Copies of this chain bind each other. A is one copy, B any other.
Amino acid sequence: MDFSFTEEQQMLQDSVQKFVRDNYDFETRRELLASDRGYSSENWNLFAELGWLTVPFREEDGGFGGSAVDLMVMMEELGRAMVLEPFVPTAVIAGGLISELGTDDQKRELLPRIMGGELQLACAISEPGSRFNLANVATRAEAQGEKVILSGSKVAVLNGSHADQLLVVARSAGSQLERNGISVYLVDAGAPGVKRHGYTNVDGHGAAAIDFDAVEVSSAACLGAPGEAYAALEKVVDRATVAVASEAVGALDSLLQKTVEYSKTRNQFGVPIGTFQALQHRMADMFIECQLARSIVMMAAMKLDSSAGDDEKAKAVSAAKSRLGRAIFKVGQEAIQLHGGIGITDELDVAHLFKRVTAIETLFGNTDYHTRRFASL
């Protein structure tokens, strides 16, 4: 058992901290939000140059090492500054699926382009009514000779509007709730029959609802063997869950820090509001929530990297996301409440942190979902 960072992790942390300090103040971020893409392609290229896009990948695939703790270190710092670039959709989820499921040829073809910053990807998982159940897939993949025809509707596709290529989770066999028969296909975002309806989420991140209307792909577009994708999908989504959870840990820390600072400067009744004991104890409660969230997310990342079995890993991730969810409600709401009116304006970074962590509470399964998943494993 060991709780210290490796030298590489320490360097990674320093590197991300330097980037957000130099490139991601609140005003710069507001400009990005207002831009067409909603994030900066220059930043993305910089991520590639700095080697960050290699972080989720194994060394044998040309990556940094790919541990969950590496991801955690990086995401936490990105979370503090609410970085908008689609690192999780492209590198963690899509990259992760290619890494887990892809043939050697597919990996050789795609992974270097991801790590080089040349490829934006999105993974179409959820469907209307599927909620957080990864096995609930109605989108069909029908084989027709060497072709496969994809039909169905996907929602909440992160980075869906800007991705060059899409990974589509579709059912090549089995009934709607079955784990068997699920496949992942690589589809060109501009392919005939792909209808993207792009929008921005409340946290400023881009997403899309995408209809696949008899979209034709080659059978070679399937990542690995057809019908066998469920386990990898669950594993990759668990890893993405730890990534956004780590991001939230950073964001919650920011919320706490900004609230404490504000309470020291905001005067009411002739004194800083931070001198009111009722508010002090509530900030202490926020601190406790932040520390518990950090501890359990760290636990989950460490478990993913450990020799534990699949169920134990899944259980650790659900424990973390569930506990984090409670911290998100508590710390987020208290940060706004203690800021008072100014806290609910779009002018203040606190409101944006609050929106991002609230979105993360839902992403990849909300508190209640993960509490039950924990109990069921």
Residues of chain B contacted by A278 (CB below 8 angstroms): 277-278, 280-281
Residues of chain B contacted by A276 (CB below 8 angstroms): 277
What copy number does this chain have within its complex? 2
Q: How far is the CB of A245 from chain B (nearest CB, A)?
A: 30
Q: Which of A246-283 contact B (CB under 8 A)?
A: 276-278, 280-281
The residue in chain B whose Cβ has the minimal distance to the Cβ of A279 is B277
Residues of chain B contacted by A281 (CB below 8 angstroms): 278
Q: Which of A267-305 contact B (CB under 8 A)?
A: 276-278, 280-281
Docked CA distance A281–B277 (Å): 10
Docked CA distance A332–B359 (Å): 37
Residues of chain B contacted by A280 (CB below 8 angstroms): 278
Docked CA distance A103–B200 (Å): 72
Docked CA distance A361–B281 (Å): 29
Docked CA distance A277–B281 (Å): 10
Residues of chain B contacted by A277 (CB below 8 angstroms): 276-278
Docked CA distance A281–B281 (Å): 11
Docked CA distance A277–B280 (Å): 10
Docked CA distance A278–B277 (Å): 5
Docked CA distance A276–B279 (Å): 11
Q: How far is the CB of A273 from chain B (nearest CB, A)?
A: 11
The residue in chain B whose Cβ has the minimal distance to the Cβ of A281 is B278
Docked CA distance A281–B278 (Å): 7
Q: Which of A288-334 contact B (CB under 8 A)?
A: none
Q: How far is the CB of A276 from chain B (nearest CB, A)?
A: 6
Q: How far is the CB of A341 from chain B (nearest CB, A)?
A: 20
Q: How far is the CB of A270 from chain B (nearest CB, A)?
A: 15
Docked CA distance A278–B281 (Å): 7
Q: How far is the CB of A147 from chain B (nearest CB, A)?
A: 51
Docked CA distance A280–B276 (Å): 11
Docked CA distance A288–B277 (Å): 20
Docked CA distance A280–B281 (Å): 12
Q: How far is the CB of A6 from chain B (nearest CB, A)?
A: 42
Docked CA distance A280–B280 (Å): 13
Q: How far is the CB of A157 from chain B (nearest CB, A)?
A: 36
Docked CA distance A281–B276 (Å): 11
Q: How far is the CB of A306 from chain B (nearest CB, A)?
A: 36
Q: Which of A5-19 contact B (CB under 8 A)?
A: none
Q: How far is the CB of A275 from chain B (nearest CB, A)?
A: 10
Docked CA distance A281–B337 (Å): 15
Docked CA distance A276–B276 (Å): 9
Docked CA distance A260–B278 (Å): 16
Q: How far is the CB of A364 from chain B (nearest CB, A)?
A: 29
Greatest chain B CB density within 10 A among A276, A278, A280 is at A278
Docked CA distance A190–B302 (Å): 66
The residue in chain B whose Cβ has the minimal distance to the Cβ of A275 is B277
Docked CA distance A277–B269 (Å): 14
A-B complex: 6 closest residue pairs judged by Cβ atoms: A278-B281, A277-B278, A277-B277, A278-B278, A276-B277, A278-B280
List 6 contacting pairs A-B, 8 Å CB cutoff, sorted by A. Answer: A276-B277, A277-B277, A277-B278, A278-B278, A278-B280, A278-B281
